[in-house]
Structure 1
Amino acid sequence: MKMILQLVCMMLFALTANAQTLNGSAEERSSLEKATLALRNAFATGNSKLVARLHHPDIVKYFGGDNVLIGRAAVEKGAKEWFENSKVEFIENTVESTVFNKGTAIQTVIFSIKTTPKSGGSPVISRGRSLVVYMRDKNSPTGWLSLREIAQAAPDQK
């Protein structure tokens, strides 16, 4: 009996550890989803100007080690260089957690990006986990801007 109880507790913990946590109103959740979709679509169409406009002017993006982008101009430059050489496509975007608080949202996502060289060659798929802080902004095309982002390798797929 004790073993069954332990197994049930472990299963419940596993379910809650992998379940998405979120709060916020239906409008907040819907509008943030539209904003993140607009960003993924800007990457898919190679629109570096829109990618930049969806980020706060003071954006800081941490990609590990010394790989840090600071400011909207750096985001646009990096995206433009990437798009000139490759077709970029998000092929996975699994939201793990979203928390809203007074005009901000913090979201963690498991993502996969397929990068296909325009000069030929095999596509590369990069998989990671990001934590992004968004803020409401009336000047944003979507109503939200990315303010801070940290990306790291994603856990192994099960």
Structure 2
Amino acid sequence: MLFFSAGAYAQEITDTTSLRQSLEKATAAIRNAFEKGDAALVAQLHSKDVIKYFGGNNVIVGRDAVEKGAKDWFQNSKVEFVENAVENTEFVGKIAIQTSIFAIKTTPKSGGGSSIGRGRSMVIYIQDKTSPTGWLTLREFVQEAPAKMRL
């Protein structure tokens, strides 16, 4: 009986080439939606129950809040991902957990200089047939990225 109980709670680790490729396409679609300034598509690529933690009290809850935040950002700025280095990806059943270092260049539409923000994120994705890519962002945690190492 103990053997059965332990086996019932074991994680189903899955990691196939097709899963990795589909997640890579999904994350590229998210970055492309930001670069196109398409707030509606950005929202569609997030779960209706998404929670995004950006440190301190900066928390975004829900798909509608993601769309509003993106729309406000895109109204005033052009957004471009200039770095996206995946550190680790783990698949467990229909869930993917990915950590990456990213950099986003924000250029004000009214003129002025661009700024680049770097961060490290851990994103939890779930497979979902309602998503245009087959994956939705469920949770996202962002912190400051480590300094770039010089060789």
Counterpart mapping for 1:1-158 below 5 A: 24-158=15-149
State the shift of 1:127 in Å: 0.2
Structure 2 unaligned blocks of 5 or more:
1-13
State the shift of 1:105 in Å: 0.1
Q: Which has the higher helix share?
A: 1
State the shift of 1:40 in Å: 0.2
Equivalenced residue count is 136
Distance 2:90 2:132 in 1: 22
Structure 1 unaligned blocks of 5 or more:
1-22
Q: Percent identity?
A: 62
Distance 2:57 2:80 in 1: 25
Which amino acid letter does the alignment assign opposite residue 140 of structure 2?
Answer: E
Question: SS of the counterpart of 1:139?
Answer: coil
TM-score, normalised to structure 1, is: 0.85
Which amino acid letter does the alignment assign opposite residue 126 of structure 2?
Answer: M
- The alignment yields a C-alpha RMSD, in angstroms, of 0.6
Distance 2:22 2:148 in 1: 29
State the shift of 1:157 in Å: 0.3
TM-score, normalised to structure 2, is: 0.89
